[in-house]
Amino acid sequence: MPITTCIFDAYGTLFDVAAAARNAATEPGREVFARHWPAIAEKWRLKQLQYTWLRAVMGQHTGFWQVTQDGLDWALESEGLQDDTDLRDRLLQLYWELEAYAEVPAMLRALKTAGMNTAILSNGAPDMLQGAVKSAGIGDLLDDVLSVESVGIFKPARVVYDLVGQRFGCAPDEVLFVSSNGWDASAASGYGFTTAWVNRAGDPVDRLPATPHRQLRDLTGIPDLVRG
């Protein structure tokens, strides 16, 4: 069946998760942090993801804001910056104002022009996602913002992907699911979605039961995929 609905992961896919640390590193008085920010950004994101998976397996769900804070605390301590409370507060504030990747507005606009349904499906909490969407100025290009909080478990649980069909009344093979997380794209492929992995870092494909259908270096090619 033709694609009718384009669904996007949020963090790392539409929104640059490294932007909070990168922007904080340019602020006056952050010279020490400027030497650590790349490592902290990478560790922060890794722990944030690991904590979602572990909580899903343990059946101990919490909001994404909590795992975001927990991941940052681990990353700061790993770099010896755990006592800088002002830095911690600033990084968390900036996480609510993440920048969209440069190609996002034009890409979404092209999808809407083509008559596609567009939405976010994210581990993020609704208020966090709305903050990012507003900051990026892309709210008018999205039909909905779907959060795992409505089912109480993080991706890649299948009940999360169920939210797309429930919202748009579409079959899995009518959906193009786009994520920068290889594991997310792979799980969505196994669910039945057509998938595109935005592999900005050029990483190897994860060794999982299913694999993404397409790989892209950024989001500019997404409209071409739905046009066949």
Exposure b/e, 51-73, CB count within 10 A at least 16 = b: bbeebbeeeebebbeebbbbbbe
Interatomic CA distance for residues 143 and 58, integer angstroms? 33
Are 142 and 120 in contact, with CB atoms under 8 Å apart? yes
Strands 194-198 and 214-216: parallel
Are 157 and 56 in contact, with CB atoms under 8 Å apart? yes
User: Exactly one of 9, 16, 73, 162 is catalytic; which is it?
Assistant: 9
Backbone angles phi, psi at 197, to 5 degrees: -95, 120
Interatomic CA distance for residues 98 and 30, integer angstroms? 19
Indicate if 9 belongs to the active site: yes
Active-site residues, by number, are: 9
